[in-house]
Structure formats: C-alpha cells, structure tokens
Amino acid sequence: MDDLITRIQQFAELIGPNIYLQAVIIAAAFIIFGKIADWIISGVVGRIAARSSNDFDDSLIDLVHRPIFISFVMIGLGLGTKRLDLPETPTIATVNLLKTIAIFIWFGAFSRLNNLVVRAWRQSSHSQIVQSGMLSLLHNVMKVVLFALAGYFIFLAWNINVTAWLASAGIVGLALSFAAKDTLSNLFAGVSIVIDAPYKTGDFIILDSGERGVVTEIGLRSTRILTRDDVEITIPNGIIGNSTIINEAGGPPAQHRIRIAVGVAYGSDLDHVIATLEQVAADNAAILPNPAPRVRFRLFGDSSLNFELLGWIADPADRGRVQHELNCSVYKALAANKIEIPFPQRDLHVRTMPADD
C-alpha cells in the first residue's frame, strides 16, 4: 500500500508543478481504485456468492463493498490534502476528520455485521448457542466491544493520549464496582447461567420457594419465569445462581413422569388393583406408551396398602391437567370394581365405666 501511494504521488508530480492539480489527480486515482475494488467485490465475488444456497454471503458482500470504496476515497482525499502543503493545523484537522468519518463508517458496517451474524445464528434453531440463550449475551457484548474500539481509534486519530483516560476509567470502574456490586453479581451469575446452561428458554423449572413455571427469558441481570397462573416472576441471577433448581425438562428428552399415590383397603386383591390402575393409565391419551406406565406397591400403611401409578407425559406443562384426569379416573375405576378406598380409623376400648352416682 505504501509503495502504491508513493507511485501515485510520483505520477502526480509528473503532470506538472501545480499542487492543486496534483492533489486532484491523487484523489481521483484513489476514487478509481475504489470503484475497481467495489466492482470486483460487488460484481465478480457477488456472482460467485449468489450461487450458494443461503443469503448470508450475499448480505455480507452488500455490507462491506461500500465501506471499502469510501475508505479509498478517504485515503485519496487525505493524501490530496497533504499534497496541498497547507498550514499544519488545517492539514492535521482535515486528515483527522477524514479518519474519524472512516471510523464511523466501519463502526456502522461492523455493527450491521454483528446483527447479520446474530440473525443467521437465530435462524439455525439447531445451534446450541441459540438454545442456551447465549446469543443475546454475545450480541450485547459485541456491541460494547465495537463501541469501545471505535472510541479508542477516534482518540488515536486525533492524537489524544489514551493512557490517562484508561487510568481514569480504571479508577472510575473500581468505584462503580463497589457501588454496583449487586448488579455485577447478577451480571456474572447471568454469564455463568448462560455458559453452564442448567436450564434454557422454554424449560419448566421449580424454584427453592416452590414456584413452578416456564423460563421465558434469560437476561444479563435476571431470569423471567411464567407460572401456570400466568404470573411472571423476575428473579435476579445472583439469587437463582446460588439456588437449587429442579429442571423438569432437563435431560435428553423433554418427557416428564408423574406419580399418582393410591391407597386401598387391607384384604384387597392385589392383582386386581394393579390391573385396574394399569387400565386407567392405558385409557388416558396423554400417557405415553413408551416408556410404558407401571404400578408399584410401595408400602404397608397404617390404614391402607399404598400403591403408586407412574406414567410419562410428553410435555411437563400438562402435569397438572393429567394428574387431575388420572385422579378422577382412579376414583371411578376403584368404585366401579368395588375396591375400597380406606380412611384412617381408630378403635376405642373402654376398660371401666364410671359408677353412677
């Protein structure tokens, strides 16, 4: 690039001693080079990219060709300005202004590229980074990084010493870290939740306090849960990151097992009870055939023989409804098959009766 600039300057000097004409030639040469680069990127490379099955590369080419052309224009204008031999102050101000314009143009281009990458990731629903909720975090982090880099290069363009600014920013950051320690705690916990992924958006979880609901959003500061009563709960990530969370949708499948406790009277036919309960599960359309529902005799209770009906459902959100249906069906089936449902009873033995006065 330096050799190209030197050759263009030497060519401009051959045109004549007029420095204004030389400045125009230098600027025009770089505009022509910019148009050639723009044609190569938009035309040649664009036609090759158009053959692909997705539109990501097409959008990428459409995004970068204009900043590249404008960069050539800014270089030509800067070199032309230096060729005019103006006083130092206006020359430096003009060149620095051109650098600043180029920085803003590339900042906008990289910001659009950030949005383009996020949109492409979001469309690939099979991507683990989308399912874990990390996409929003990376998107926001990249925005902050791009903004910081743009500010840094602007300082460099205007020959501003950034060392003092960085030192001041460090002191201010230290003070803010003490003032906003709870916010920072939630922020780091949010990052930990996103990376560790104990749950993801759409999972049904149970909190330490007993609330149960679907995760609607995992943010940097908090996690939002929609309960079965359609009440949204917002929990700071610092709290939820130090709590025991039960994820009902965890594991490879999203299936959920429900348990129905049933007590029958002593003396009941065990095989008949098991067959009746198995039939109740088989008649319910929400109970999955695989894994097959089962009945287990758990223990000898004080007043009953305690059984448990176990079955799998496809969606944890249906647990309450299916439990209701099974409880109703079990009660009706036991009554229809004349299987007694006991209740606690106590026998009172009177040893002596008080004498009549």
The token duo for 95 is 């060149």
| pLDDT tens for each residue of 259-268 | 999 999 999 9
CA 286/CA 342 separation, integer angstroms = 28
Q: In what order do the strands lie in the sheet with 222-227?
A: 232-236, 222-227, 212-218, 204-206, 246-247
For 181, the domain range is: 161-246
Residue owning tokens 């991507």: 127
Say yes or no to pLDDT of 44 above 70: yes
CA 209/CA 130 separation, integer angstroms = 29
342 domain residue, yes or no: no
CA 142/CA 146 separation, integer angstroms = 6
344 domain residue, yes or no: no
Same domain assignment for residues 144 and 191 = no
Same domain assignment for residues 181 and 80 = no
351 domain residue, yes or no: no
Highest mean pLDDT among 40-49, 71-80, 154-163, 296-305: 296-305
Highest mean pLDDT among 76-80, 185-189, 258-262: 258-262
Q: Tell me the CA distances in angstroms from 202 to 71, 132, 170, 287, 317, one per residue in order.
A: 45, 10, 39, 21, 10
Give the burial string for 103-130 (b: 16+ CB within 10 Å, else e).
bebbbebbebbbeebbeebeeeeeeeeb
109 domain residue, yes or no: yes
Rg (CA), the chain: 37
Confidence of residue 161 (pLDDT cuts 50, 70, 90): confident
Same domain assignment for residues 37 and 128 = yes
The token duo for 320 is 């309450």
Same domain assignment for residues 16 and 151 = yes
Query: Which ranges in 40-87 belong to alpha helices (H)?
Result: 46-49, 56-83
Same domain assignment for residues 153 and 222 = no
User: What is the residue-averaged pLDDT of the chain?
Assistant: 84
The token duo for 169 is 């920013």
> Amino acid letter at 9?
Q
Number of domains in the chain: 3
| pLDDT tens for each residue of 89-115 | 888 899 899 999 999 999 999 999 999
Q: Which residue has the higher pLDDT, 122 or 292?
A: 292
357 domain residue, yes or no: no
Same domain assignment for residues 15 and 151 = yes
Confidence of residue 129 (pLDDT cuts 50, 70, 90): low
Q: Tell me the CA distances in angstroms from 105 to 13, 41, 160, 305, one per residue in order.
A: 31, 18, 21, 77
Q: Which residue has the higher pLDDT, 211 or 297?
A: 297
Enumerate helices (H) and strands (E) in the chain, giving the number of each: 12, 8
Query: Domain containing 276 — which CATH number?
Result: 3.30.70.100
180 domain residue, yes or no: yes
Say yes or no to pLDDT of 356 above 70: no
Same domain assignment for residues 131 and 29 = yes
Same domain assignment for residues 104 and 224 = no
Same domain assignment for residues 118 and 156 = yes
Same domain assignment for residues 169 and 141 = no
The token duo for 54 is 């997705």
| pLDDT tens for each residue of 18-39 | 778 778 887 888 889 899 988 8
DSSP conformation class of 352: -
Query: Where among 160, 194, 223 does a domain terminate?
Result: 160
pTM over 0.95: no
Query: For the ranges 40-49, 72-81, 112-121, 234-243, which has the lowest average pLDDT?
Result: 40-49
CA 102/CA 318 separation, integer angstroms = 57
Same domain assignment for residues 138 and 189 = no
Torsion angle in degrees (nearest 10) through CA of 319, 321, 325, 330? 40
Residue owning tokens 């044609």: 39
Question: Cβ(277)–Cβ(244) under 8 Å?
Answer: no
Looking at the DSSP bridge assignments, the partners of residue 232 are: 226
CA 288/CA 284 separation, integer angstroms = 9
Query: Where among 219, 246, 273 does a domain terminate?
Result: 246
Q: Which residue has the higher pLDDT, 25 or 1?
A: 25
Query: Where among 212, 246, 280 does a domain terminate?
Result: 246
